[in-house]
């Protein structure tokens, strides 16, 4: 595709240059010249009063009519389904209400037959399982080969995965093999009631804008969804579905050979934590996180942080909560010395119970807190620690 200028029509008004959001039009000899920044958004075509700009070449359109069904990749490790699998199922069930198409889960692994039932009992119509020894331990290539072949066999219209380490690592390869697009790390997914297309919402430009992306001409429509963006699907009595043991012909080999496995130590799993104690700039310096760690140990909690604390080098990035960090939904979220900027709230505001400690009574964090303590965290947190130690003897 190219955008061509019909020189004989152009009056040199410059409107196209003004309207271009990508700085993709240079000005040479009183005429516009399209440069390599062009994203074919057509804004210049629409604004040109003389119709002097024309698009040439065909957009590649494929026949998408044979693709039906809403699929999700149900993540499992060591024979247990991850909670994100139920979140994806819930997202798919909401889409089913608009599209009226079957929801199917895909489980890859070895000796996984027992897992299908819990998806079916929560509303999944069908569960495809590829049960092979090569899939016992997660490796990107065999997982990508297996899922790609299944999609080719059944041609679903939508394939979703969670934006976890696993989903992020192998789903792009599946999309590339299928020759379709992928919107990674979405915060929201829904079906447009008119076009019936999957609308994929995700932060862009460093989190300053939310983009809505659709995949009009290729199938399946693929996206990864951030964990904790939707509730988990709940079990319902008397639901029926079927489990299908799928045969695939692909040789599930990998260039990577797994030699040994070592359990990660000190891994922060904020998304699975029931209680999170988070610290921000109000802590003053990195060593003061020790105070929060002490409280967290007493409560069996994980330690989170604002971006200000992470940027200051007080605590590593995996602890960051917010728009450019983790999205969390613990039972209790305790924010200590965190002001409550919109980007921080984006990652924690759906927590069940939010407690905020801040010495500024006007701090925005108090607008979302269920319980607010106005005061100095260096007095309140040690008092809490003392009290907990006292109670536990
Ligand atoms: C594109 C983009 C993405 C971003 N992503 C994230 C993100 O993912 N996560 C995130 O957190 N931020 C993010 N930010 C940054 C965000 O805008 C804020 O700058 C940041 O959250 C502020 O962190 P803070 O609340 O720790 O610091 P501050 O805003 O400086 O607040 C410190 C608070 O501590 C209080 N305080 C100070 N001393 C004490 C004390 N002794 N006791 C009690 N309270 C005290 C103060 O009253 C103040 O309210 C992002 C920004 C942008 C532009």
Q: Which atom of ligand 1 is nearest to 322's Cα?
A: 8
For residue 280, the CA-to-ligand 1 centroid distance in Å is 6
CATH of domain 2-56: 3.30.70.20
CATH architecture for segment(s) 70-245: 3-Layer(aba) Sandwich (3.40)
Domain ranges of the chain: 2-56, 70-245, 270-392
pLDDT averaged over the chain? 93
Look at the block and give the residue holding tokens 């199922």: 89
CA distances to 99, 212, 243, 307 from 192, rounded to whole Å, are 9, 11, 29, 34
Residue 263 has pLDDT above 90, yes or no: no
β-strand partners of 153 = none
Q: What pLDDT does residue 90 have?
A: 98
2-56 and 70-245: same fold?
A: no
The two three-digit tokens of residue 384, written as one number: 């809490």
Ligand 1: which of 202, 343, 381 to mutate, judged by most atoms within 8 Å of the beta carbon? 343
For residue 366, count other CB atoms closer than 10 A to its CB: 19
Q: What pLDDT does residue 267 have?
A: 67
Ligand 1 atom 43: residue of nearest CA = 358
**Per-residue model confidence as pLDDT tens digits over 23-80:** 999 999 899 999 988 988 999 999 999 999 998 876 666 788 899 999 999 999 889 9
Q: Which atom of ligand 1 is nearest to 208's Cα?
A: 1
**Per-residue model confidence as pLDDT tens digits over 155-202:** 999 999 999 989 999 999 999 999 999 999 999 999 999 999 999 999
Cα(174)–Cα(181) distance, integer angstroms: 10
Q: What is the pTM of this model?
A: 0.70
CA distances to 27, 165, 244 from 76, rounded to whole Å, are 55, 12, 17
Half-sphere exposure of 302 (CA within 13 A, CB side): 20
Q: DSSP class of residue 27?
A: E
**Per-residue model confidence as pLDDT tens digits over 273-326:** 999 999 999 999 999 999 999 999 999 999 999 999 999 999 999 999 998 888
For residue 368, the CA-to-ligand 1 centroid distance in Å is 15
Q: What pLDDT does residue 59 have?
A: 63
Q: What pLDDT does residue 268 have?
A: 73
**Per-residue model confidence as pLDDT tens digits over 332-341:** 999 999 999 9
The closest alpha carbon to 324, from 342, 303, 298, belongs to: 342
Ligand 1: which of 291, 322, 380 to mutate, judged by most atoms within 8 Å of the beta carbon? 322
Half-sphere exposure of 17 (CA within 13 A, CB side): 12
The two three-digit tokens of residue 228, written as one number: 């904790």
- pLDDT category at 147 given cuts 50, 70, 90 is very high
- What is the SS3 assignment for 216? coil
Domain 270-392 has CATH 3.40.50.1220: yes
Ligand 1 atom 31: residue of nearest CA = 339
β-strand partners of 326 = 321
Q: What pLDDT does residue 57 have?
A: 77
Look at the block and give the residue holding tokens 């290539």: 141
Average pLDDT value for residue range 352-373: 97
- pLDDT category at 203 given cuts 50, 70, 90 is confident
Q: What pLDDT does residue 393 have?
A: 74
For residue 341, the CA-to-ligand 1 centroid distance in Å is 6
Opening angle at CA 107, ends 241 and 229, nearest 5 = 90
For residue 281, the CA-to-ligand 1 centroid distance in Å is 6
CA distances to 28, 29, 66, 297, 317 from 48, rounded to whole Å, are 17, 18, 39, 64, 47
The two three-digit tokens of residue 367, written as one number: 């607008």
Instruction: Kindly list the protein residues whose Cβ atom lies closer than 6 A to any atom of ligand 1.
Output: 206-208, 280-282, 306-309, 320-325, 337-339, 341, 343-344, 347, 357-360, 363, 376-378
Residue 135 has pLDDT above 80, yes or no: yes
For residue 155, the CA-to-ligand 1 centroid distance in Å is 46
For residue 316, the CA-to-ligand 1 centroid distance in Å is 16
CA distances to 264, 276, 277, 316 from 303, rounded to whole Å, are 17, 6, 5, 11
For residue 340, the CA-to-ligand 1 centroid distance in Å is 6
Cα(184)–Cα(171) distance, integer angstroms: 9
Beta-strand (E) ranges in 241-392?
A: 242-245, 275-279, 302-305, 332-336, 353-358, 371-374
Q: What pLDDT does residue 324 have?
A: 87
Contact between residue 22 and residue 37 where contact means Cβ atoms under 8 Å apart = yes
């Amino acid at each position: 595709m190219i955008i061509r200028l019909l020189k004989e029509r152009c009056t040199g008004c410059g409107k196209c240059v003004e309207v271009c959001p990508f700085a993709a039009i240079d000005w040479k000899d009183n005429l516009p010249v399209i440069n390599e920044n062009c994203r074919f958004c057509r804004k210049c075509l629409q604004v040109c009063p003389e119709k002097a700009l024309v698009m040439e070449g065909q957009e590649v359109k494929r026949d998408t009519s044979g693709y039906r069904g809403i699929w999700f990749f149900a993540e499992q490790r060591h024979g247990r389904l991850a909670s994100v699998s139920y979140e994806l199922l819930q997202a798919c069930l909401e889409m089913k209400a608009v599209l009226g198409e079957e929801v199917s889960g895909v489980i890859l692994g070895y000796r996984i037959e027992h897992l299908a039932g819990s998806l079916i009992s929560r509303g999944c119509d069908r569960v495809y399982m590829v049960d092979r020894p090569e899939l016992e331990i997660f490796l990107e290539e065999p997982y990508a080969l297996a899922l790609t072949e299944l999609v080719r066999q059944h041609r679903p219209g939508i394939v979703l995965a969670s934006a976890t380490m696993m989903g992020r690592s192998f789903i792009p390869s599946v999309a590339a093999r299928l020759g379709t697009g992928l919107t990674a790390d979405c915060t929201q997914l829904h079906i447009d009631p008119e076009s019936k297309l999957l609308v994929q919402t995700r932060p862009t430009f460093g989190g300053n804008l939310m983009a809505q992306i659709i995949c009009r001409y290729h199938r399946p429509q693929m996206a990864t969804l951030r964990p904790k963006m939707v509730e988990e699907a709940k079990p319902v009595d008397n639901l029926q579905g079927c489990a299908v043991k799928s045969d695939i012909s692909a040789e599930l080999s990998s260039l990577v050979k797994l030699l040994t496995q070592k359990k990660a130590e000190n891994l922060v799993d904020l998304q699975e934590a029931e209680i999170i104690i988070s610290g921000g700039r109000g802590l003053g310096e990195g060593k003061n996180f020790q105070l929060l760690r002490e409280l967290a140990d007493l409560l069996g909690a994980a330690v989170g942080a604002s971006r200000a604390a992470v940027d200051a080098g007080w605590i590593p990035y995996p602890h960051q909560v917010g728009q450019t960090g983790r999205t969390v939904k613990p039972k209790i979220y305790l924010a200590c010395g965190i002001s409550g900027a919109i980007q921080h709230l984006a990652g924690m505001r759906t927590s069940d119970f939010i407690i905020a400690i801040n010495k500024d009574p006007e701090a925005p964090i108090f607008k979302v807190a269920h319980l607010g303590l106005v005061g100095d965290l260096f007095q309140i947190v040690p008092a809490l620690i003392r009290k907990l130690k006292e109670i536990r003897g």
